[in-house]
Amino acid sequence: MIELRQLNKYYKVGKQRFHALKDVDLTIGDGEMVAVVGKSGAGKSTLMNIIGLVDTWDSGEYLLDGVSIRKQSDRRLARLRNEKIGFVLQDFALIEDQSVLFNVSLPLILGREKYGNIKPKALRVLEEVGLADQRNKKANQLSGGQKQRVAIAGVLAMQPQCVVLDEPTAMLDPQGRREVLDTIERLN
Ligand code: ADP
C-alpha cells in the first residue's frame, strides 16, 4: 500500500524555487492499478520517481506498507527499492544485441538470484507476457511492443510488490500500445 500525504516537491532553478508537486494526497491499495494523467510538465515523472524511491521530496509524508520513507537511511532505501519496486521506462532499456532470455535474466543475475533459478524464473515471466517463443531472438529483432513486454518481464522476474511505469507506451505505435496495455492489465 502506498500513501502520500500533503507531499510537496520543489526544484531549484537558479535562485528561484519551482513548485513541481503541491500537496499531493494519494492512496494506492494492494492490487490496484492507477494511471496518472496530465499535460506535459504537470509533474507525473516527478511523482513516479518519488513513488519509485529514486527521488526525494521537500515536505509531507510517504508511507510504503505503513513504513515512513522519510526516516529511512540511504542503505535501507536501496533495500526497499530492490525488494518492493519495479521500474519500467519508456525507452525499454534493453541490451539490444543480446537475447530476450538474457535481457530478462539480467535483473536476476544482478540481484544475485541462485544460478539454478535464473532460467526457470526468466522463462516463467516470459510465458506471462506471451513471449516465451521469442526467447532466443535478439532484442533488436523485436517490435516496440514486444520490447516493452520483455522489459516488463524483466521487472516481474524480481517479483516486486509495486510496478511503476513512466509512459510505458510513449514510444510505441497504436498496435504496440494496445499490446502493452493489455499485458499490464492482464498481469495486474
Ligand atoms: P511530466 O512528467 O508531467 O511531464 P515532470 O515531472 O517531468 O512532468 O516535470 C514537472 C515540472 O518540473 C516541469 O515543469 C519541469 O520543467 C520541472 N522539472 C522537472 N525536473 C526538473 C529539474 N531537475 N530541475 C528543474 N525543474 C525540473
Question: Rounded to whole angstroms, what are the CA distances from 117 to 22, 53, 157, 158, 163?
Answer: 44, 27, 11, 12, 22
Q: Is 90 exceeded by the pLDDT of residue 96?
A: yes
Look at ligand 1, atom 27, and give the residue with the nearest C-alpha: 11
Q: How far apart are CA 169 and CA 153, in angstroms?
A: 15
Identify which of 9, 16, 18 to mutate to test ligand 1's pocket (most ligand atoms within 8 A of the CB): 18
What's the confidence (pLDDT) of residue 6?
Answer: 98
What is the CA(179)–ligand 1 centre distance, in A? Answer: 29
For 56-78, the pLDDT digits (tens) are 999 999 999 999 999 899 999 99
- Residue whose cell numbers read 515536505: 59
Question: Rounded to whole angstroms, what are the CA distances from 37 to 48, 61, 131?
Answer: 12, 22, 29
Angle subtended at Cα 72 by Cα 161 and Cα 111, rounded to the nearest 5 degrees: 45
Identify which of 24, 45, 89 to mutate to test ligand 1's pocket (most ligand atoms within 8 A of the CB): 45
For 106-145, the pLDDT digits (tens) are 999 988 899 999 999 999 999 999 999 999 999 999 999 9
Percent of the chain scored above 70 by pLDDT? 100
The three-state secondary structure class of 113 is coil
What's the confidence (pLDDT) of residue 18?
Answer: 95
What is the CA(61)–ligand 1 centre distance, in A? Answer: 20
pTM, whole model, 2 decimals?
A: 0.90
